[in-house]
Structure 1
Amino acid sequence: MKIAIIGAGNMGLSFSKSFLKYELIKPENLHLVTRNISKIPKIKEEFPKSEISVFEEVKNLDADLVIIAVKPQDFPNVAENFQFQLTENQMILSIMAGIKIEKIQKFLNHPLVVRAMPNSPTLLGMGITGYTAAQGISFSQLINIERLLNSTGRSVYLENEELLDGVTALSGSGPAYFYYIVDAMIKAGTEMGIDENLSKLFVKQTMLGAYHLINNSEKNLEELIKDVASKGGTTEAALKTFNENHLKDILLNGILNAEKRAKQLNG
């Protein structure tokens, strides 16, 4: 398989690294296209055997799969400035937030579109990606896409494209929510006189341990909370403050607003 990636940013490059790491494609069958000429020397260092091009200079694209990894706001301008024609059998994989399959098909005048929403842990091969596909894409083509996506972590096929905006808000943006909470916990540690590096250690290891407990316990989240929050204790004091300030509602509304923004990106 030959793959071209339009948009050699963090996500485009992390996908590239995963494909090569698991030998899903050969380096010489990878074509990276960027609009930023200043990035080319660094990209060439990381991908010495692959083809690297400036977007404006690409006249044809010899690829079975074309991955669109530009910012959703930039997509209309990028689509209008393609210097090449997509061939009948080429597949498009979009990893842009919010942009619906129908809009991609219209802008590119091309029917074979798969839409996916990965998240940043794909950088470590620990991401999760929701994806869906246009009509006319065969089962075998979808399996090939799934193999590529699974090299970056896990993937989940969704029949209903409307759910992808929710996936964007939940897991696409989700890592930032955890970082936000972790940052607040670290700052609380320093407020209490704990050295910042030590505070980071306590919080990060707590987060890691809590994750493994969720994954390996048969108890639900409410039961796990009760296990830590004994009556009249320290945890209960913290949870009471969270509840009085409607922290859960604030988080929920924030995530719903992220979904709303994803829908707006389609224009």
Structure 2
Amino acid sequence: MKIAILGAGNMGLSFSKSFLKYELIKPENLYLITRNQSKFSKISEDFPKSKILAFDEVKELDVELIIIAVKPQDFQQVTENFKFQLKDNQMVLSIMAGIKIEKIQKLLNHKLVVRAMPNSPTLLGMGITGYTAAEGISFSQLINIERLLNSTGRSVYLEDEELLDGVTALSGSGPAYFYYIVDAMIKAGVEMGIEENLSKLFVKQTMLGAYHLMNNSEKSLEELIKDVASKGGTTEAALQTFNEDNCKEILKKGILNAEKRAKELNG
């Protein structure tokens, strides 16, 4: 399989590394296309056998799959400057937030489009991607796409494209929410007199342990919270403050606002 990635940024390159790591594609069959020529030397260093191309140089793409990994705000301008025509049998996989299949089809004048929403842990092969597909894409084509997506972590097929904006807000943006909470905890540790590196160690290991405990327990989240929060204790004091300040509602409101922004990106 030959694959072209249009937009060789963090996500595009993390996909490329996963494909190569699991030998889903030969290095010489990978085309990395970027508008930022200052990145050429670094990309060439990381992908020595692959073809690194400037966007303006591409007159034809003899590949089976084109992955569009540009910023959603730039997509229309990018399509207006295409110097090549897509062939009828070529697949397009979009990993842009917010841009719906119908709009992609219209701007590319092309029918075979799969839309996916990965998240940043794909850099470690521990991401999760929600995806959906346009009508007319065969089961075998979809299986090939799923194989590629699963090399970056896990993937979930969604029948309803409308849910992808929710996936964008929940898991696409989700790592940032997690880092935000971790950062608040570390800063609280520093304020209590714990040296910053030591505070980071306590918080990171706590998060890691809590994740594994949650993942390996049959208890609900409410039960796990109760296991830590004994009556009249320190945890209860913290949780009482979170509840008084409506922390859950604030987080939910932020996530719903992220979904709203995803919908706006379609224009």
TM beyond 0.5: yes
Match for 1:250: what amino acid? I
1:215 CA displacement = 0.4
Superposed CA deviations along residues 119-168 of structure 1, whole A, max 9, x for unmatched, are 00000000000000000000000000000000000000000000000000
Match for 1:172: what amino acid? G
For 1:184 and 1:174, locate their aligned partners in 2 and report how far apart those are by CA, in whole Å. Answer: 16
SS of 1:28's equivalent?
helix
Q: Which residue in 2 is equivalent to 1:12? A: 12
Q: Which runs of 4+ in 1 moved over 4 A?
A: none
Q: Which residue in 2 is equivalent to 1:55? A: 55
1:196-215 equivalences under 5 Å are 196-215=196-215
Q: Name the % identity.
A: 85
For 2:41 and 2:86, locate their aligned partners in 1 and report how far apart those are by CA, in whole Å. Answer: 27
Superposed CA deviations along residues 89-130 of structure 1, whole A, max 9, x for unmatched, are 000000000000000000000000000000000000000000
Q: Which residue in 2 is equivalent to 1:177? A: 177
2:152 is aligned with 1:156: no
Which runs of 5 or more residues in structure 1 are unaligned? none
1:61-76 equivalences under 5 Å are 61-76=61-76
1:62 CA displacement = 1.1
Q: TM-score, normalised by structure 1?
A: 1.00
SS of 2:83's equivalent?
coil
SS of 1:219's equivalent?
coil
Which runs of 5 or more residues in structure 2 are unaligned? none
For 2:63 and 2:32, locate their aligned partners in 1 and report how far apart those are by CA, in whole Å. Answer: 11
For 1:259 and 1:230, locate their aligned partners in 2 and report how far apart those are by CA, in whole Å. Answer: 36
SS of 2:203's equivalent?
helix
Match for 1:230: what amino acid? S
Q: TM-score, normalised by structure 2?
A: 1.00
Q: Which residue in 1 is equivalent to 2:236? A: 236
RMSD between superposed Cα atoms in Å: 0.3
Q: Which residue in 1 is equivalent to 2:30? A: 30
1:15 CA displacement = 0.1
SS of 1:212's equivalent?
helix
SS of 1:251's equivalent?
helix
1:57 CA displacement = 1.2
1:243 CA displacement = 0.3
For 1:141 and 1:55, locate their aligned partners in 2 and report how far apart those are by CA, in whole Å. Answer: 26
Q: Which residue in 2 is equivalent to 1:146? A: 146
Superposed CA deviations along residues 50-79 of structure 1, whole A, max 9, x for unmatched, are 000000110001110000000000000001
